[in-house]
Amino acid sequence: MHIDSTGFVYLGVVAAAYAALGIKAPKKVRGAAGAGMKQLGSILPTFVAVFGLVGLFEVFVPPALIERWLGSSSGVGSLFVGAAVGSVAAGPPPAAFPIAATLLEGGAWPPAIAAFIVSWVLVGVASLPFEARTFGWRFAVLRNGLSFVVAMLVGLGVGLFL
Amino acid sequence: MTRLLELLKKESLAVAVLALYGWAFSVSPARAMRALGAAASTLGEVALIIFSVFLALGLFGAFVDKQAIGRRLGEGSGFRALLLAAGFGTILVGPVYAVFPLLKAFREHGARPAVIVTVITAWAVKLPMIPLEMRFLGWRFSVIRILLTLVASVVLGLVMEPLLSWRLPATRRRLQADSVTEGAEG
C-alpha cells in the first residue's frame, strides 16, 4: 500500500486555508473543523461499505460483464446505462469516484463513466419527492429529466476531449 | 428495537455489503480475502484525501456567506447572474436536504428560476472533492468533466426557465399573486 502525494498536497492546502482564516476568526475555524469531522463520522460507515463494495467488484464482477453493459461497443446504450445507474444510486457524492475507477479498470467506456458520475450527483430518484415538495413537481421532473440528458451529453463531451 | 431498525435503515448499504461479504466468504474464502484486501488498500490510499475533503467541506460550510450571495443572486437578472450562480454552485456544499430549502429561500428573495437551476447543476462540480476525483480518474478526466458541467449548468438554467414558466392559467394567477406579495415585502 502506498499513500500518494495528492493527499499530502491537499491536506497542506486545507491546513494553510485553516491557518489563514484562523488568524482572523479562530472560533469559526474550530467550528468548521468540528462540523467537517462530524460529517465525516456520520458518513464513515457508508464510506467503508463503498470501499468494501469496490473490493468485491474488483474480484467478483467479471470484466466481460462491465464491458457488455458499459463498454464502448454498446455506445449510446452504455451511456444510458451509466446515467441510469448513477440516477438510482443514492450514495454520498465522493463514493462515486472509487466505484467509477473500478468500472473504468474493468473496461467501461469513459463517457459512460462520466455520465454515471454526473447523474450520481445531479439526478436523484430517491430525493425526487423531496425536490417536488420544495420546488413543485414540474420543476423536479423537468430538472431531473433534463439533467439525465445533460449527464449523457457531458459523458459524450468527456469522450470527445479526453 | 425501533432504534435498531433505524440504524439498520440508515446503514443499509453497510448491512448489504456485510451480507455480500458473508456470501463471498461462503463461495470462495480466498477470493473474498482478496476483495477485502483490495478494499482496505484502496481505502488506505485515499484516507488522507477523504479526511482533507471533509476538513475543506467544514471550511466551505462555515465561511461561504450564503445569505449575502443569495441577495446578490436575487438582484442580478442578466447573464452575469447566471455566471455568479455557476460560481456559487461550485463552492456550495451540503446535502440535498439543506441545499434545496436554501435555494427555495433565494427564489423567494427574487432569484430567477434559471439561477436556481444553474446553482443546482453547478453544485455537481463538488469543488472540495476534486482532488479525490483526480486521484481516482486522472486530472484530465476531472477537468473536462468539471468544465462541461459548468457550461451545462448555464445552458440548463436557460433551457429550464421557459419550460417552467409555461403554466396553466390558474397556476399563473397564483404565481402572480405570490410575486405581488414578494414585491410588497421587498
Residue A124 pLDDT exceeds 70: yes
Q: What is the pLDDT of residue B181?
A: 62
What is the model's pLDDT at position B136?
93
Query: Is residue A23 within 8 angstroms of chain B, CB to CB?
Result: no
Provide the domain limits for residue B109.
Answer: 64-185
Report the Cα A112 to chain-centroid distance in Å.
13
Query: Are B100 and B175 within one domain?
Result: yes
- The domain total for chain A is 2
Residues A48 and A96 in one domain: no
Which B residues in the span 60-99 are in contact with A, Cβ-Cβ below 8 Å?
Answer: 61-63, 96-97
A126 contacts A90 by C-beta, under 8 angstroms: yes
With CA atoms as reference, report the closest residue to A10 among B5, B125, B52: B52
* pLDDT for the residue numbered B186: 38
A148 and A103 fall within a common domain: yes
Contact: B59, A32; criterion CB under 8 Å: yes
Distance CA B40, CA A93 (A): 20
Closest residue in chain A to residue B36, using alpha carbons only: A55
Instruction: Locate A81 and state its grid cell.
Output: 446505462
In Å, how far is B36's CA from the nearest CA of chain A?
A: 6
Out of A60, A79, A111, a domain closes at A60
How many structural domains comprise chain B? 2
More confident site: A83 or A4: A83
pLDDT score, position B147:
96
Task: Look up residue A100 and give its three cell numbers.
Answer: 467509477
Q: Which residues of A, range 72-111, sit inside 8 Å of B by Cβ?
A: 91, 93-94, 97-98, 100-101, 104, 110
Interchain proximity A1–B156, CB inside 8 Å = no
A102 neighbors A62 (Cβ within 8 angstroms): no
Residues in Cβ contact with A31 at an 8 Å cutoff, skipping those fewer than 6 apart = B58, B62
Same domain, B103 and B134: yes
Examine residue B25 and state whether it is found in any structural domain, yes or no. Answer: yes
Q: Are A51 and A35 members of one domain?
A: yes
Q: How many CB pairs under 8 A join A and B?
A: 227
Cβ–Cβ contact A132 with B under 8 A = no
Q: Are residues B166 and B79 in the same domain?
A: yes
Residue B185, pLDDT score = 43
B102 and B157 assigned to the same domain: yes
Tens of each residue's pLDDT in chain B, 186 residues = 788 888 888 888 899 999 999 999 999 999 999 999 999 998 998 899 999 999 999 999 899 888 888 888 877 668 888 999 999 999 988 888 889 999 998 888 888 899 999 999 999 999 999 999 999 999 999 999 999 999 999 999 999 989 988 766 776 677 677 776 655 443
Domain of A16, in residue numbers: 1-60
Give ipTM to 2 decimals: 0.87
pLDDT given for residue B77 in this prediction? 67
Q: Do B36 and A130 touch (CB under 8 A)?
A: no
pLDDT in tens, A145-156: 999 999 999 999
Looking at the structure, tell me whether residues A66 and A56 fall in a common domain. Answer: no
Output the pTM of the full model: 0.85
Residue A82 has pLDDT above 90, yes or no: yes
* Interatomic CA distance for residues B83 and B118, integer angstroms: 9
Distance from CA of A85 to the nearest CA of B (A): 16
Q: What are A63's three cell numbers? A: 470484466
pLDDT tops 90 at residue A28: yes
Segment A29-59, tens digit of pLDDT? 999 999 999 999 988 998 899 899 989 988 9
Of B59, B127, B94, B91, nearest to A31 by C-alpha is B59
- In the chain, the amino acid numbered B18 is L
Q: How far apart are CA A151 and CA B153, in angstroms?
A: 11
What is the pLDDT at residue A3? 54
Domain closes at, from A10, A29, A60: A60
